[in-house]
Structure 1
Amino acid sequence: MVVDQEAAMSSNCAVVAVGDFYTGKTVFITGGTGFMGKVLLEKLLRACPGVSRIYLLIRPKKGQQAQERLQQLLCSPLFDSVRKERPSDLSKVRAIEGDITQPELAIAPSDIALLTRSVNVVFHSAATVKFDEKLKLSVTINMLGTQRLIELCKKMDHLECLVHVSTAYCNCDRSEVKEVVYPPSMSPDKVTSLVEILDEDLVDSLTTKLIGNRPNTYTFTKALAESWLKENRGDLPLVIVRPSIVISSINGPLQGWVDNWNGPTGIIAAAGKGLFRTMLCDPDKTADLVPVDMVINLMIVTAWRMGTTKCRDLQVYNCCTGQRKPIKWKDFIGMCFKYMRKHPFSQISWYPDGTVTASRTLNWFNKCFLHWLPAYILDSLVWLTGGKPIMLRIQDKLTKAATCLEYFTLNEWRFDDENVRTLATTLNQTDRKEFCFDVAKIDWESYIENYVLGIRRFIFKEEASSLPKARRHVARLYWSYRLMQVISVMCLWHFLTLRYAPLRQLWVNALRLLVYLARMLPFL
């Protein structure tokens, strides 16, 4: 039904460009200080110059008021392009002090009045993305926070679209996920009531039973939020956008931009430092990864589409790469290692290398010998010299992060994206380029190289000028690594030959052959 409406109305909205739609509009964003929220804010400022005002819901944090956090956010290199070309546009952004976990979002009455009389478009991206978050907090943020926002949106006099950011994995209990809202195993209101009434320790003990066959509280509460929205949105013009695993930007203003350790990024960064070398993962499964700026472009266009067609039907968009531009985990990881050796990080501990396996037994042995044993040895040496051991603590954190990802690296899904494809056909050529969300255009080699460079630049804060020194260091580590491999194989072989006579004779013959070849070299 959604697809038919899209096709029928395409001629009506073709005259209004995406950027023009936002001219004179006021936008309200939750989660604006997060990874996706920053990219959304920058894109609106840069590509929709006519936007009138952008309000960000910001929670005071660590002694910083909302306005201070906003100024710190706008100092990010992500906004360098806007700062250089149209610096006055940064003044369009205003902080609204509030908290998604509090009743009425903890927004002052005067600010509520301001929002209700002026906002045209709402982007709701505030959420806890921690997979292992306690259920009580996850429900408070992802469920109750969404409900409180809906209460506010229903008061807005001029609302044209509400874009709710969900996740493709909220329906990970299904192998095929279409662009519809599926009924959850439990009523959202029932779960909310249980969490509000029961003690947190009791909720923790019931979590496994409540989430059922979903892997974590994040996917569970996101599914509940979608179901609740479908039943309680009233006549709100609602769009749900479901990205898969969101990583660095593919295009402007900064290729490879990433500012957090979430998802695969933390694991890749640790592997590049030589600290992480094995992970439980099916190398032949599809890694459904999507660039953050493509997700943001889709969000901006869905709001344009809803606002120009005046359609009130709930619309869902799966923003994924698995159908149109699939990549296997083995290829993704292989490319990451390739470019981490070409553009190595500074001060790495060991040569970047590693393996993935779907065998839990093999992965356990790998962790013992490649993670924990070196960590114990290094920490012992540091302790004996009077230093502070940290390697075991680092490995513990990395193990927990990898465990959170295992469900997604051992399985794969078919995410239908027909609505996304149809939406792309309604754009003119200029908007297709400016607000590109066509994942078929991704060149994985180039993208992953920029991803690695982005981790180097934006996560580790390393300048390009440090690359020559880092390359010399990784070259030295390479030969040390190969030498250690040869010595390890020889020691193992020698151990075996001491116990088995046939192997011992084979070992002696091999040594004789090597000596013979060495003597013959001058005559060859």
Structure 2
Amino acid sequence: MDREGGDITYTDMIQTIAEPSKIGQYFSGSHVLVTGASGFLGKLITEKLLRSCSDLEKLYFLIREKKGKKIEDRCLEIFDNIVFEKLKREQPKFRNKVVFVNGDCLKPDLGLSNEDKEMLLKNVNCVFHCAATVKFDEKIRTAAYINVRATRDLLKMAKQMINLKSFIYISTAYAHCCRKDIQEVVYDTPITGEKLLTLLETCSDDFLDKVTPTLLGEWPNTYVYTKGIAEEVVGSEGKGLPIAIVRPSIVVGTAKAPIAGWIDNMYGVTGITVGIALGLIRTLHCKKDCLADIVPADYVINSAIAAAWSVGSKESINKEVTVNNNEVTVFNFVCSTQTQITWRIWMKYSEQHLKRVPSPLQLWHHFFILNSNYFMHILCVILFHYIPAYVGDLLALCIGKQPLLVKGYQKIGKFTDVISYFAVRQWNFSDQNTQNLYQCLNSTDKDTFGFNLKEFDWDAYFYTFARGGRVYLLKDPLETLPQGRIKYIKLIFMHYALIAVLCAIFLWFCYRMITLIL
């Protein structure tokens, strides 16, 4: 008879000592500036640095006054967000490290006072420039001031920062979407940032509105256009600085940390998915077998933090590319090189998991059609969006309510048209720098700051994504699932009952026409 515990050896009794975090050591004692800290990625970078790099000295939180609220009040509201709950538990005194700085990226020199500017120049070691306007239909002047001029002005400040170790610019993988093949390099643009800003200073708003299509050229909107121009500014102004550009593709909710499925905006794929969940959006112009290059937000910010460590510690990411040289290092953060998620797969997972977490806020049974043919898409828009909207608004008027559906679907149409540009095209991204960066991490940093998508469980993630949209965007807690399931069943019945009635009317009409002819 085997002795109890005989399978335990002496090696099992030795406690494994984890490697120290190189990234944690890099940020120890550092003063970090985060722009756009009130935005989606800005919140996540702020939370991650304060929680996982707890030995950093100060984090400067650039934020503007808004709607009459002082920056202190705005910051307190931001830190009340659920995304900071884990940080509050693990680092209850984290606010002692946060310095609120009044700034506005729409203004020259980021709207900084002389005192604040001197403080930042003297103290800051690491910069994460996340601030941007992400509105695809933003006026060219506003988009260029926030995305281009603010980047230029911050880079000029960075050159004067006596203790600068790293500067990370958060761009987008679609900054050069007019190219089919996108390498990890800084591309030339038809106009430099300086020339664009000079043009803005000399032209009226009316004139700029007229020439915007000419300026954009092959770029589909002012967002990606100005991000591309901003990269040119980083390439020209950032030479010689410890600087890198991180280009994520379509950013969606978090996969794991600090909360699974967290998101705070309706942009892009997220807005489409929520619209489907509510039964509002029923068609999208999209090529089903094109790749849906989506990436979880927590993986994006982990890659950005790792990039800061890499350029700041002069860590070579491969034999050919040594960071912190005279050229700006670029990291494309995409999923398409590691996992092939097509729009067809996205739709399959979305439908599968939205059924598991139905919301009582749902307006109609969700059905959704991916149309590769544009004219079929327009037909579906008329049949499934506008006809029901006009009928609904007519009923609203009859009972004395304000008609809202037609205006709502006009906005939805503009939104889906923007998404369609990226859903009917496919790009070939290179991400060798990003993959090599991941291999540079030790085991501790891979666990804490991991961003490898090679073995990512997309099926499980889409369930997390569906729950996150329900809880954090619709503000509908999971406690209402029983009511949601009851309503879901009712809406299915109503949906197919309506189809049966419409089919019966159509057949009756056909029968009447035939009898009249005969």
Paired letter, 1:176? D
Q: Deviations over 1:138-185 (max 9, x none)?
A: 111111010111121111110000000111101111111000011112
8 Å Cα contact 2:151-2:233 kept in structure 1: no
Among candidates 415, 418, 422, match of residue 404 of structure 1: 418
Aligned equivalent of 1:512: none
Aligned 8 A contact 2:264 2:472 in 1: yes
* Further displaced range: 233-242 or 366-375: 233-242
1:81 maps to a residue whose letter is K
Query: Is residue 335 of structure 1 aligned with residue 340 of structure 2?
Result: no
- Residue aligning to 1:47: 52
2:384 pairs, out of 370, 382, 391, with 370
Quick one: distance in 2 between partners of 1:26 and 1:149?
16
Query: Which stretch of the first structure deviates more once superposed, 150-159 or 336-345?
Result: 336-345
Q: Which has the higher helix share?
A: 1
Alignment deviations for residues 308-349 of structure 1 (CA, whole Å, 9 cap, x no partner) = 127422210000011111211121122212222210122211
Partners of 1:15 and 1:276 in 2: CA distance: 49
Q: Which amino acid aligns with 1:319?
A: F
CA distance in 1, matches of 2:21, 2:274: 43
Which one is further off, 183-192 or 245-254? 183-192
Aligned residues: 489
1:453 corresponds in structure 2 to 467
**Kindly tell me: are residues 236 and 414 of structure 1, through their superposed partners in 2, closer, same or farther at Cα, counting changes over 3 Å?**
same
Instruction: Give the Cα–Cα distance (whole angstroms) in 2 for the partners of residues 430 and 357 of structure 1.
Output: 45
CA distance, structure 2, for counterparts of residue 312 and residue 461 of structure 1: 44
Between the aligned residues of both structures, percent identity stands at 32
Superposition RMSD in Å = 1.6
Alpha-carbon shift at residue 498 of structure 1 (Å):
4.8
CA contact (8 A) 1:83 1:90 kept: no
User: 1:483 and 2:497 equivalent?
Assistant: yes
Question: Contact conserved, 1:324 with 1:440, CA < 8 A, in 2?
Answer: yes
Aligned to 1:507: none
Q: How far apart, in 2, do the equivalents of 1:139 and 1:92 lie?
A: 32
In the alignment, the residues of structure 2 paired with residue 16 and residue 330 of structure 1 have an alpha-carbon distance, to the nearest angstrom, of 40
- Is 1:304 aligned to residue 326 of structure 2? no
CA distance in 1, matches of 2:240, 2:93: 36
* 2:21 and 2:442 in contact (8 A); partners too: no
Q: Which residue of 2 aligns with 1:228?
A: 233
Letter of the 1:315 partner, please give it: T
Counterpart for residue 287 of structure 1: 292
Q: For structure 2, list consecutive stretches of 5 or more residues without a partner in the other structure.
A: 1-18, 316-322
Tell which deviates more after alignment, 488-497 or 145-154. 488-497
Q: Give the residue type in structure 2 aligned to 1:136.
A: R
Question: Is 1:267 the equivalent of 2:284?
Answer: no
Instruction: Report the counterpart of residue 119 of structure 1 in structure 2.
Output: 124
> 1:74 aligns to what?
79
Q: Secondary structure at the match of 1:351?
A: coil
Read off the aligned partner of 1:491 and give its amino acid letter. Answer: I
1:277–1:355 Cα contact (<8 Å) kept: yes
Deviations 1:189-245 (A, max 9, x none): 222211221001111110111111111111111111111221122421110000001
Q: Secondary structure at the match of 1:400?
A: helix
1:89-488 matched pairs, under 5 angstroms:
89-309=94-314, 311-313=323-325, 314-488=328-502
Structure 2 distance, partners of 1:409, 1:321, is 15
Distance (Å, rounded) in 1 between the aligned partners of 2:85 and 2:182: 39
Alpha-carbon distance between aligned partners in 1 of 2:375 and 2:156, rounded to the nearest angstrom: 50
Superposed CA deviations along residues 118-142 of structure 1, whole A, max 9, x for unmatched, are 1110000101111111111111111
TM, length-normalised to structure 2: 0.92
> Structure 1 stretches of 5 or more lacking a match?
1-13, 505-524
Q: 1:483 deviation in Å?
A: 2.2
- The code of the aligned residue for 2:388 comes to P
CA deviation map 1:46-67 (0-9, x unaligned): 1111111100110100111111
Deviation at 1:466, TM superposition (A): 0.3
Contact 1:59-1:97 within 8 A present in 2 as well: yes
Would you identify which runs of 4 or more consecutive aligned residues in structure 1 move more than 6 Å? none
User: In the aligned structure 1, how far is the partner of 2:71 from the partner of 2:188?
Assistant: 37
Query: Cα 1:188–1:103, aligned 2, differ >3 Å: closer, same or farther?
Result: closer
